[in-house]
Structure 1
Amino acid sequence: MTVTEGFINVTGGKVWYQQHVQEHSKNNTPILILHGGPGSSHYSMQGLSILSKDRPVIFYDQLGCGHSDRPDEKSLWTLDRFVEELALVREALSLGEVHLLGHSWGTTLAAAYALTKPKGVKSIIFSSPCLSAPLWAEDQDRNRKELPQDVQDTLKKCEENGTTNSEEYKKATAEFNKRFVCRLDPKPQILIDGAKYKGRDSYETMWGPSEFHVTGNLKSFDCTNQLNELTIPTLYTCGRFDEATPKTTEYYHRLTPNSQFHVFENSAHIPYLEEEEEYVRIMKDFF
């Protein structure tokens, strides 16, 4: 396998990319991985390089995180700029035909990009999707009610007082994450190691202080009324205990004409780590 990496100029700076290519499959349509966040980096998803046995796999860190530049300019943190960035990455890497695999916020980006009707996108995987911020917020309100009452009270108090950067808010958030983000105990080392690659500026500007308290400029994002325009093969997946709930994910699936739907029964929001082998199997079956 050949692994190459480099940087691509985009609005606001340079973004890092890495390509995994095997000689016997280099002519097959590549997969471009769109990581979550905003600002989470490709780091925890690097195990998906195993898909390069069948076709090239390309990772890139979106601006503001990972190995990419981290400009201190809030005007850069918009969905439109990230859509433009994705187009520039495709152009720079000569990805005339491509499969898109987006996870979490990466699905927001994949949908917004696909709805600009670019040529050559052969299929999309929406992994633990967020295609409607209002629906996401409603689901998290329900999820929060499953937390112990003292945790709920702490979250509410900190949000009302504007102390979401406090240690008590972080500890309460961790309780949410154990149930709805990653259920593995102990927490996977790759998530611990990957924390340093996260970019908080883009996350807090676009999303908010936590997964379940949406205050950023994506707050009103909702493309559900356009999902019928996605006519290419599409796969929706989520975990049974996912913050991207099975009910809402299936709803997106029903709105998308040529789509499939799969639930990972033993996962929350990170099935590519929580059920690694099964996740890869489902991806391979789809491709």
Structure 2
Amino acid sequence: MFEEGYIDVTGGRVWYQLFNKDAVGTPVIILHGGPGSSSYSLQGLKALAEDRPVIFYDQLGCGKSDRPSDPSLWRIERFVEELAQIRQSLNLNEVHILGHSWGTTLAAAYCLTKPSGVKSVIFSSPCLSAPLWEQDQRRNLEKLPKEIQATIIRCEENETTDTDEYKKATEVFNKNFVCRLNPYPEWLKKGSHYRNPEVYNIMWGPSEFTVLGNLKEFDCTPRLKEITFPTLYTCGRFDEATPETTKYYSSLTPGSEFHVFENSAHMPYVEEPDEFLSVIGAFLKTRDAR
């Protein structure tokens, strides 16, 4: 019913978990956020294994996977290749894909290679355009107290994003637009060591608000019309992946569906877990039945 292990991919080995291997539903593979985060916070989604195999993996460079020191590995093309290698290794001939945050960037890039056997894709709190993400965070910042805005902008301009004042200011941002649970769950704090800031810095940059890494020009909006298999877009009402932009992505994707979790920010799978599982589970079951 459960297995875990390592899969050889370009650059090293990635750690994976497979729940309910023998279930009859089409497997769903979970792509975590970051870049350079891990599958740790998404473990609640193993409840989907009631109906189907569920696969988690930590992308190379983070979590329980290898952490090679070669910075040339941290580019989206290699992560797309990695996903294909995992599918091949686990014999996932047919699969649903659920990406969250940066995981949606990866999911979109992968889907645009026109792989076979993808039955549906779920974009949870999507980032499908780095320029649009940057614009949205500037607008989100304007909703915060003036002194918080000033601190974040000043620290970015002075390249002092590693200071305590910057960290405290971003905590205020996070409480509004990332996870609104108060208190913040202790178990989430315990997963922080699974992150790899080097991957994040190379691909995104030192802060959430200004993209300086190699994803700076990423924008697949002109190609979303090419995603023709069933697609679901979701986000939280207070998400840094804003409802307005998420709905815009959905409008560009033929026949896609769109859902907002009304009491969540960027982590509805933690903030509203029952609702999240209900919406995702229903979408997957409907796609399997067709």
Give the TM-score range, shorter chain.
Answer: over 0.9
| Aligned residue number for residue 146 of structure 1 | 143
* AA in 1 matched with 2:4: E
| Counterpart-to-counterpart distance in 2, 1:247 and 1:156 | 24
Deviation string 1:7-50 (CA, Å, 9 cap, x unpaired) is 01111111000000164xx2321000000001110000001000
Query: Within 1, Cα distance between the matches of 2:168 and 2:92?
Result: 42
Secondary structure, counterpart of 2:208 in structure 1: coil
Of 34, 40, 60, the residue aligned with 1:37 is 34
Partner of 2:6: 7
2:115 is matched with which residue: 118, 131, 137?
Answer: 118
Q: How does 1:58-137 map to 2 (within 5 A)?
A: 58-137=55-134
Contact 1:4–1:20 (CA<8 Å) still a contact in 2? Answer: yes
Q: Please point out which of 185, 192, 208 is paired with 1:188.
A: 185
1:239 matched residue in structure 2: 236
1:190 CA drift (Å): 2.6
How much has 1:189 moved relative to structure 2? 2.0
Deviation string for 1:84-113 (max 9, x for gaps)?
A: 001101111110000000000000000000
Structure 1 length-normalised TM: 0.97
- Normalised by the length of structure 2, the TM-score is 0.96
- Structure 1 window deviating more from structure 2 (146-155 vs 119-128): it is 146-155
Q: Which residue of 2 aligns with 1:256?
A: 253
Contact kept, 8 Å, 1:39 with 1:199, in 2: the verdict is: yes
Q: 1:204 aligns with which of 190, 201, 206?
A: 201
Percent of aligned positions that are identical: 65
In structure 2, what is the Cα distance between the partners aligned to 1:49 and 1:39?
21
Say if 2:244 is the partner of 1:217: no
CA contact 2:239–2:264 (8 Å) conserved in 1: yes
Q: How many residues align?
A: 284
Give 1:166's aligned residue.
163
In structure 2, what residue type is equivalent to 1:199?
N
Gapped regions of structure 2 (runs ≥ 5): 285-290
The question of whether the paired residues in 2 share the 8 Å contact of 1:31 and 1:56 is answered with: yes
CA contact 2:24–2:51 (8 Å) conserved in 1: no
Residue 43 of structure 2 corresponds to 46
Q: Map of 1:20-35 to 2, 5 A cutoff?
A: 20-21=19-20, 23=22, 26-35=23-32
User: Cα offset for 1:151?
Assistant: 1.0
Q: Secondary structure at the match of 1:59?
A: strand
Distance 1:168 1:72 in 2: 30
Q: Distance in 2 between matches of 1:286 and 1:238?
A: 15
3-state SS of 2:174 partner? helix
Deviates more, 1:223-232 or 1:205-214: 205-214
Show structure 1 runs of 4+ deviating over 4 A.
none
Q: Which runs of 5+ in 1 are unaligned?
A: none
The root-mean-square deviation of aligned C-alpha atoms, in Å, is: 0.9
